[in-house]
Amino acid sequence: MEGEGTATGRQRRATASQLDQWTVQDQVFKIYGAFASIPRSAQSVILELQRDKHVEYLTRGLQQLVDLGFATGSCTQLLYLGNQLTMNWRIMPSTFLAVVRIQMVAMGVDQGRQVAETFALYWIGRRMVAMPHLATTYAAVNSLVTLGGHKALSSINRDNLYKFLSRMKDSSGAFRMHDAGEIDVRACYTAISVASILNILDDELAKGVGNYILSCQTYEGGIAGEPGSEAHGGYTFCGLAAMVLINQANSLDLASLIDWVAFRQGVECGFQGRTNKLVDGCYSFWQGGVFALLQRLPAFGGEGFGTSDVEVEWVSDSTSEGDDEDRDSSDDNEALHPEPDQEGHQSSSHSPESSTAVHIHHSRHNQLEPLFHTMALQQYIVLCSQEQEGGFRDKPGKARDYYHTCYCLSGLSVCQYSRSKNENSPPLPTSVLGPYSNLLEPIHPLYNVVSRQYHDAREFFSKY
């Protein structure tokens, strides 16, 4: 047949999705090709995080939000960034935090002047509405935890927040995002996460959540937003994290979940959110974070999560497995340029082993060996998602935004600590792509806040 087997024939038969995929692959491979062609000494410079530019971008954005009024959803993405940029990198946080505090006052949560019963303000189009919503509640609580300190933490009205969470609970056990809103796994996670970090999680809130999430795990192994939908990276993270928080992670089919998520890392080195979808920087956290959760489970050789809610199950049967200092780093700097095969498929070197059903494999020194290619993902984040003028983006050709900046940085942190047995053992330079100054603080993978800030909040809410 005419055109059969030729590039033209291939193009003619291609679906719109295939054409999009090839376009993205071409863009990404051009970037990697250009990077590979420059001298090694210059590569290090290219791999540097442009932290000053990122801070500038975020500070400018935050100021614009203040000028506009207040939009909790966007503001909290910026505040997350405050967490990744200022707390983590310890770069002159005072100016940034000052702006953040102004913003928090604008949100009405400072000095006990909390709006309504929860964090409720966000934009619909050009109109600002004040309706309590679980997504903004989650983001606002995490932002206050990130800010830290008595003033920020005590500004949260936990009694009213508990009432709000109870009202969002459906008779099925799952949660809805807002009054008369959609019921899904995201709502379950945000509700359980907020309740857990504020130390108000109880049996009433947790009841039925596990069964709902189990009903959302699909034949592929990942978790969908609601029963009958397609497995998706964001919902898989939300579902697994919620199940860990209510001590029911073992009820999931973890073997098929791992298989599904491991195969979501593609030839571009980043993750896709769903089967046959395009790579996207934000899944660096949604999918990478799934691995961070799994490797902390004692069943996989991890050391638990350091929360009183979940350590009963996860820490009680954990085993001490030696010192990370003794790690074998011979393969840490393996090829940064994984070669796609003829068909452009993912290299088999990234494939999970059949034994992933029972454990994340350890080297002979008991060093954690993550189930995804952490150096390759760092390469995608730094070279393809990072904007040299500040901020991060979904993929080359897309515009930067605060959401992707937040989740690319969280994904980067997950990669850097993926070989560490616990958050107190800093990664070796061989686990950090580029200069060691690229190292971020560890995040707590259950909540996506800086670990240190999480521990401070945990202590605070155990007392008050």
User: Which residues does the annotation mark as catalytic?
Assistant: 232, 274, 277, 280, 282-283, 394, 401, 404
Q: Considering only 126-134, 282-290, 297-305, 322-330, which stretch makes contact with Zn ion by CB under 5 A?
A: 282-290
Distance (Å, whole) CA 437 – CA 47: 11
Distance (Å, whole) CA 110 – CA 151: 7
Q: Kindly state the smallest distance separating residue 81's Cβ from Zn ion, in Å.
A: 15
Distance (Å, whole) CA 46 – CA 37: 12
Q: Kindly state the smallest distance separating residue 283's Cβ from Zn ion, in Å.
A: 7
**Residue 303 interacting with Zn ion (CB under 5 A):** no
Residues 6+ apart with CB under 8 A from 238: 185, 186, 188, 189, 190, 223
Q: What are phi and psi of 353, to 5 degrees?
A: -80, 160
Q: Considering only 88-96, 110-118, 377-385, 390-398, which stretch makes contact with Zn ion by CB under 5 A?
A: 390-398
Q: Kindly state the smallest distance separating residue 417's Cβ from Zn ion, in Å.
A: 22
If the CB atoms of residues 282 and 382 are measured against Zn ion, the closer one turns out to be 282
Can you tell me which of 110, 259, 268, 280 binds Zn ion, judged by CB under 5 A? 280
Q: What residues between 201 and 240 interact with Zn ion by CB under 5 A?
A: none
Q: Compute how many other C-beta atoms are within 10 angstroms of the C-beta atom of residue 26.
A: 11
DSSP summary character for residue 449: E
Both tokens assigned to 220: 């592929």
Q: Kindly state the smallest distance separating residue 390's Cβ from Zn ion, in Å.
A: 18
Helix axes 451-463, 134-147, angle to 10 degrees: 100
Residues 6+ apart with CB under 8 A from 87: 93, 146, 441, 450, 452, 453
Distance (Å, whole) CA 138 – CA 157: 14
Q: Kindly state the smallest distance separating residue 133's Cβ from Zn ion, in Å.
A: 20
Residue count, binding to Zn ion (CB under 5 A): 3
If the CB atoms of residues 99 and 238 are measured against Zn ion, the closer one turns out to be 238
* Helices and strands, number each (H, E), in the chain: 21, 6
Q: Considering only 77-85, 108-116, 273-281, 362-370, which stretch makes contact with Zn ion by CB under 5 A?
A: 273-281
Q: Kindly state the smallest distance separating residue 275's Cβ from Zn ion, in Å.
A: 16
Q: Considering only 42-50, 76-84, 275-283, 448-456, which stretch makes contact with Zn ion by CB under 5 A?
A: 275-283
Distance (Å, whole) CA 444 – CA 306: 10
Distance (Å, whole) CA 8 – CA 264: 28
Q: Is the dihedral of CA 237, 241, 244, 246 positive or negative?
A: negative
Residues in the chain, total: 464
Both tokens assigned to 210: 């596990």
If the CB atoms of residues 121 and 408 are measured against Zn ion, the closer one turns out to be 408
If the CB atoms of residues 74 and 367 are measured against Zn ion, the closer one turns out to be 74
Q: Kindly state the smallest distance separating residue 282's Cβ from Zn ion, in Å.
A: 3
Q: Kindly state the smallest distance separating residue 61's Cβ from Zn ion, in Å.
A: 17
Instruction: Compute CA distances 353 → 263, 300, 319, 358, 376, whole Å.
Output: 11, 14, 23, 10, 18
If the CB atoms of residues 373 and 395 are measured against Zn ion, the closer one turns out to be 395
**Residue 282 interacting with Zn ion (CB under 5 A):** yes
Within 13 A of 462's CA, how many CA atoms are on the CB side? Answer: 9
If the CB atoms of residues 178 and 232 are measured against Zn ion, the closer one turns out to be 232
Q: What are phi and psi of 322, to 5 degrees?
A: 95, -175
Both tokens assigned to 427: 């990664």
Q: Kindly state the smallest distance separating residue 237's Cβ from Zn ion, in Å.
A: 13
Distance (Å, whole) CA 339 – CA 439: 27
Binding mask 99-118 for Zn ion (x = CB under 5 A): --------------------
Q: Considering only 76-84, 174-182, 236-244, 278-286, which stretch makes contact with Zn ion by CB under 5 A?
A: 278-286
**Residue 268 interacting with Zn ion (CB under 5 A):** no
Distance (Å, whole) CA 252 – CA 249: 6
If the CB atoms of residues 273 and 338 are measured against Zn ion, the closer one turns out to be 273
Can you tell me which of 220, 313, 394, 423 binds Zn ion, judged by CB under 5 A? 394
Residues 6+ apart with CB under 8 A from 156: 109, 114, 141, 144, 198
Q: CB nearest Zn ion: which residue?
A: 282
If the CB atoms of residues 395 and 421 are measured against Zn ion, the closer one turns out to be 395
Q: Considering only 62-70, 82-90, 178-186, 391-399, which stretch makes contact with Zn ion by CB under 5 A?
A: 391-399
If the CB atoms of residues 110 and 394 are measured against Zn ion, the closer one turns out to be 394
Distance (Å, whole) CA 330 – CA 12: 46
Which parts of this chain interact with Zn ion (CB under 5 A)? Answer: 280, 282, 394
